[in-house]
């Protein structure tokens, strides 16, 4: 086995990726599948989950398990289905998330609740309920991993009126640090990847109205966050290279929020 494989290999690991049917989640899932991991992707829309899982299965092992992780019933159903295939879990990547934008005077309570129910509440209870499977996989020197996808909007004030989203991602960053402290004795690390502007469905409208050149102008590295940027950060945190890192937030934003 090569030095690179020793450090960054994830072959044979069991990996759950929420929000894995498209965007950042799909990009990360494809990299893990190609690297030899057994990957389980989750999202609400069954057709999208099945389509992505079928595509990724051409490169290795990928199973789709549709579920709404903002609800207790959805989380329970996913875990029950996962346990039909795995007795332990090496890596949990919480990427599922939603956004709501509205003027302050018109910001709806149900919009706020929708964002927090998935981005924070659902994430917390999903981790809580998967701790037994993560504990079964983790050991001293080779812990199980939880990787939460946060946002650079937790570092700075976004120009858009996405009050619940930025607040929820700040909560994810703090919650991750708290869980990192609590779960370290169980041989489980908890870290955050905070992406910058990624060309996902969330950004599509802004990209169309403003154009890529205008969006990338204030970014020091002058481009959007790419699929390989997010997948590379996830591979680092999931592999032996990242085994001694916990409670960290890694910005992957080309310096946009971190150098201002």
The pLDDT tens digits for 105-145 are 999 999 999 999 999 999 999 999 999 999 999 999 999 99
pLDDT computed for residue 170 by the predictor:
98
pLDDT band at 259 (very low <50, low <70, confident <90, very high): confident
- Distances 146 to 57, 64, 119, 226 between C-alpha atoms, Å: 23, 19, 15, 22
Residue 200 clears pLDDT 80, i.e. is over it? no
Mean pLDDT across 43-61: 97
pLDDT band at 204 (very low <50, low <70, confident <90, very high): low
User: DSSP assignment, residue 151?
Assistant: -
Mean pLDDT across 14-33: 97
To the nearest whole percent, how much of the chain has pLDDT over 70? 96
Mean pLDDT across 53-79: 97
Residues 96, 21 contacting (CB under 8 angstroms): no
Residues 23, 231 contacting (CB under 8 angstroms): no
Summary mean pLDDT of the chain: 94
Residue 194 clears pLDDT 80, i.e. is over it? yes
Neighbour tally for 67: CB within 10 Å: 24
Q: What are 69-103's pLDDT values in tens digits? A: 999 999 999 999 999 999 999 999 999 999 999 99
Going by C-alpha positions, the residue among 41, 42, 23 that lies closest to residue 32 is: 41
State if pTM tops 0.75.
yes
40 is catalytic: no
From the list 107, 165, 181, 236, the catalytic residue is 165
pLDDT band at 215 (very low <50, low <70, confident <90, very high): confident
Residues 169, 192 contacting (CB under 8 angstroms): no
pLDDT band at 1 (very low <50, low <70, confident <90, very high): low
Mean pLDDT across 160-182: 97
pLDDT band at 212 (very low <50, low <70, confident <90, very high): confident
Mean pLDDT across 177-191: 98
pLDDT computed for residue 210 by the predictor:
74
pLDDT computed for residue 53 by the predictor:
98
Q: In degrees rounded to 5, what are phi and psi of residue 230?
A: -70, -45
Residue 160 clears pLDDT 90, i.e. is over it? no
pLDDT computed for residue 21 by the predictor:
96
Residue 223 clears pLDDT 80, i.e. is over it? yes
For residue 249, what is the enclosing H or E element?
strand 249-252
């Amino acid at each position: 086995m090569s030095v690179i494989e020793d450090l960054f290999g994830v072959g044979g690991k069991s990996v759950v990726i929420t929000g894995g049917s498209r965007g950042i989640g799909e990009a990360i899932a494809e990299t893990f599948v190609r690297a030899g991991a057994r990957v389980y992707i989750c999202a609400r829309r069954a057709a999208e989950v099945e389509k992505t899982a079928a595509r990724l299965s051409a490169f290795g092992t990928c199973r789709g398990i549709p579920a709404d992780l903002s609800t207790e019933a959805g989380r329970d159903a996913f875990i029950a289905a996962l346990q039909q295939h795995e007795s332990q879990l090496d890596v949990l990547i919480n990427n599922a998330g939603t956004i709501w934008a509205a003027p302050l005077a018109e910001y709806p309570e149900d919009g706020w609740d929708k964002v927090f129910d998935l981005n924070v509440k659902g994430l917390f209870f999903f981790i809580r309920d998967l701790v037994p499977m993560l504990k079964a996989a983790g050991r001293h020197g080779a812990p199980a991993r939880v990787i939460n996808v946060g946002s650079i909007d937790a570092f700075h004030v976004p120009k858009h009126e996405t009050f619940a989203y930025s607040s929820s991602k700040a909560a994810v960053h703090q919650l991750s640090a708290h869980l990192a402290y609590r779960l370290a004795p169980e041989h489980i690390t908890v870290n955050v990847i905070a992406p910058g502007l990624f060309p996902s469905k969330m950004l599509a409208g802004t990209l169309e109205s403003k154009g890529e050149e205008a969006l990338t102008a204030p970014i020091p590295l002058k481009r959007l966050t790419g699929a390989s940027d997010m997948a590379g950060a996830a591979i680092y945190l999931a592999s032996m290279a990242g085994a001694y890192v916990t409670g960290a937030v890694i910005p992957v934003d080309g310096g946009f929020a971190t150098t201002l």
